[in-house]
């Protein structure tokens, strides 16, 4: 039984450790949670988890060469994700505090928010390195079956929610403590700096790709 669970345990621990390391993903989650309602952050995290599942699938199928072959496509995804975060940062920096929530609810559906989270994950250099470079050293990907892949995918979503949700909850509660318009505006701008920083990191990573 232990031998059967060992690969799953190794994967869970490795992913949790990698996910907890501060990077563009965590910065984006905190920024979204500071600026928007909690359900939006949940959709964003789910989208990020889906992005991880995409890279998990590529790694399991042994398609690392696919990632290299279509490096231009992945670079375009990075640039798109980074630019989108910069756009969000600008929106939050310039937003009218009194109208922020109304505009956000009207402008973004859970699907759109999830896709933005997925774009961030697909463009996150840390995620790419984990699945295409580090994961093969953690477990034997050639022995992974379809059922193993399904379990690993479920674990991926569960682990990322477990790692990222505390950041989201803490940021959301921090926002609830501020009722003063001036303080809320400062909070929005702090979120804009976090999101903009995440977008900048992704764009820098894309610029370094040759």
77-124 pLDDT, tens digit each: 667 777 777 877 777 677 665 544 434 443 457 787 888 788 888 877
199 vs 206, higher pLDDT? 199
Half-sphere exposure of residue 51: CA atoms within 13 angstroms, side-chain side: 30
Tokens standing for 176? 């609830």
- pTM for the model stands at 0.73
Angle at 169 between CA 128 and CA 107, to 5 degrees: 75
Q: Is the pLDDT of residue 27 over 60?
A: yes
Q: Is the pLDDT of residue 50 over 90?
A: yes
Give every CB contact of residue 205 below 8 A, 6+ residues apart in sequence.
78, 123, 125
């Amino acid at each position: 039984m232990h031998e059967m669970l060992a690969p799953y345990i190794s994967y869970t621990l490795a992913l949790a450790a990698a996910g907890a390391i501060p990077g563009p993903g965590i910065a984006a989650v905190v920024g979204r949670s500071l600026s928007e309602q909690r359900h939006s952050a949940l959709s964003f995290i789910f989208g990020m988890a889906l992005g991880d599942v995409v890279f998990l699938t590529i790694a399991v199928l042994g398609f690392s060469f696919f990632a290299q072959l279509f490096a231009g496509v992945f670079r375009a995804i990075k640039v798109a994700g980074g630019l989108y975060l910069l756009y969000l940062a600008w929106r939050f920096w310039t937003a009218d505090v009194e109208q922020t929530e109304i505009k956000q609810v009207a402008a973004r559906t859970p699907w759109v928010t999830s896709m933005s989270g997925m774009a961030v994950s697909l463009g996150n250099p840390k995620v790419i390195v984990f699945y295409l470079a580090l994961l093969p050293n953690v477990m034997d990907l050639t022995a992974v079956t379809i059922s193993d892949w399904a379990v690993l995918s479920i674990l991926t979503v569960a682990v990322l929610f477990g790692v990222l949700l505390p950041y989201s909850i803490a940021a959301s509660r921090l926002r609830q403590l501020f009722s003063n318009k001036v303080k809320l505006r400062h909070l929005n701008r702090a979120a804009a700096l976090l999101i903009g920083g995440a977008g900048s990191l992704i764009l820098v990573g894309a610029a370094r790709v040759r």
